[in-house]
Structure 1
Amino acid sequence: MAFSADELRVLRRALAVALHPAPLHDEDVQDALLLAASVDEAVREAGRLRAFLLADLARYREALPGSLSGYLELLRDALAAGYDPQADDLAALRALRRNPAASELLARCRILAERSVRARLARVSQATATSAPTGPRARLFALPGGRAADDEPKPNPPAPAERPVPKPSEVFPPRRRPVPPPPPEERAAG
């Protein structure tokens, strides 16, 4: 990202105020807000450009080997912009390693991928080290219900607290077929 001379002047004033707090003129505040908005827009545009470049790279990779020259050029551009080669890139370059340019790029991508993995592992191990307790470890106490509880005799549960489990026939009584009404002759006699 490049700043114009006016933007550098605004940035320098903002940094001076951050280091040595002093009241600001309204014009300085407006200039700083405009610069912040410009920087935010440049960051958003860089994100959009990166997303477009990565999508384009994926399209070219899927069209290999027919798109070899375009893919290699896009991959070089992406690497120059700080892209870490992915497993798909390494696999595609391995398949194309008979091409001298692809073979050269494969060697470069392997180095970059290894550095990226090492950096991630270092961050993970550093995060693990900082989250580990630094003081003495607390004593652990046995809680009831563990393996030792199996060896001990179990007390009988109180009788009133236990209710028998009902049978399914008690919960859902069987359906009785409806009895057909008696014939009309029996009704009159009865």
Structure 2
Amino acid sequence: MAFSADELRVLRRALAIALHPTPLPDEDVQDCLRLAGAVDEAVSEAGRLRAFLLADLARYREALPGSVNGYLELLQDAVAAGYDPRPDDLAALRALRGKPVAAALLARCQVLAERSVRARLAGRAVAVTAPAPRGRLLALPGGRAADREPERPKAPVSPGRPQAPGERPMPKPSEVFPPRRRPAPPPGERAAG
């Protein structure tokens, strides 16, 4: 998470006040509340993005084998971010293990899945995490710009949620990127003779 210069100033002041409690001017209280709101919004946005990426990963997995490269890239990013591979992921990787990238990823995912199962059997709770966002967060709303109400983005459509009237369903990768067709040879080349 990145903070602007104004947000860092407010954070430093809030930490100093926490160490040495003193009465605060109203402006400092408002600055702290705005910073807390900006952090809450960033955390909530990260959760929405993780949910979207998990749904995206599921869509790519369902569109296999046509979406092999996209699926492997998303799964690698997810595993690197702490994602606990599901049985569906392991089954998909087993089917794709002819590809070197898929075979290496399968070996890594099997180790992670085995570790997760052992931890559950030992009685420890395993935190299932979602993939982290692939893009970097460059700036957060806050500081002086936090005075206005931030615009709330729409939540992504989850696979199990029914579509609202007039809402289009999310296309699968195979629908957006159909397989390439070979061009038909010119009519003169078809005739043998």
Q: State whether TM-score is above 0.5.
A: yes
In 2 relative to 1, CA 121–32 (structure 1 residues): closer, same or farther, beyond 3 Å?
farther
Aligned-pair identity (%): 81
Q: Distance in 2 between matches of 1:120 and 1:67?
A: 32
Q: Partner residue of 2:21?
A: 21
Q: Partner residue of 2:86?
A: 86
SS in 2 for 1:124: coil
Q: Distance in 1 between matches of 2:120 and 2:14?
A: 35
**1:124-163 to 2 correspondences below 5 Å:** 124=124
Q: Partner residue of 2:37?
A: 37
Q: Partner residue of 2:46?
A: 46
Q: Which runs of 5+ in 1 are unaligned?
A: 126-190
In 2 relative to 1, CA 114–12 (structure 1 residues): closer, same or farther, beyond 3 Å?
farther
**How many pairs are equivalent?**
125
Residues 12-56 of structure 1: per-residue CA shift (max 9 Å, x gap): 221222222211121211111111110111111111111111111
SS in 1 for 2:124: helix
Which protein is bigger by CA-based radius of gyration?
A: 1
Q: Distance in 1 between matches of 2:51 and 2:10?
A: 31
SS in 1 for 2:111: helix
Matched, 1:55 2:55: yes
Amino acid at match of 2:15: L
Amino acid at match of 1:89: D
Give the number of the structure whose residues are more often helix, by fraction.
1
What is the TM-score normalised by the length of structure 1? 0.60
In 2 relative to 1, CA 120–18 (structure 1 residues): closer, same or farther, beyond 3 Å?
farther
Pairwise CA distance, 1:115: 3.5
Q: Partner residue of 1:149?
A: none
Q: Distance in 1 between matches of 2:27 and 2:121?
A: 47
Pairwise CA distance, 1:122: 5.4
Pairwise CA distance, 1:65: 1.3
Pairwise CA distance, 1:101: 0.6
SS in 1 for 2:29: helix
In 2 relative to 1, CA 20–120 (structure 1 residues): closer, same or farther, beyond 3 Å?
farther
Q: Tell which deviates more after alignment, 29-38 or 112-121.
A: 112-121
**1:87-106 to 2 correspondences below 5 Å:** 87-106=87-106
Q: Partner residue of 1:73?
A: 73
Q: What's the C-alpha RMSD, in Å, of the aligned pairs? A: 1.9
Q: Distance in 2 between matches of 1:30 and 1:36?
A: 10
Q: Tell which deviates more after alignment, 61-70 or 8-17.
A: 8-17
Select the structure with the greater relative contact order (CA < 8 A; seq sep ≥ 6): 2
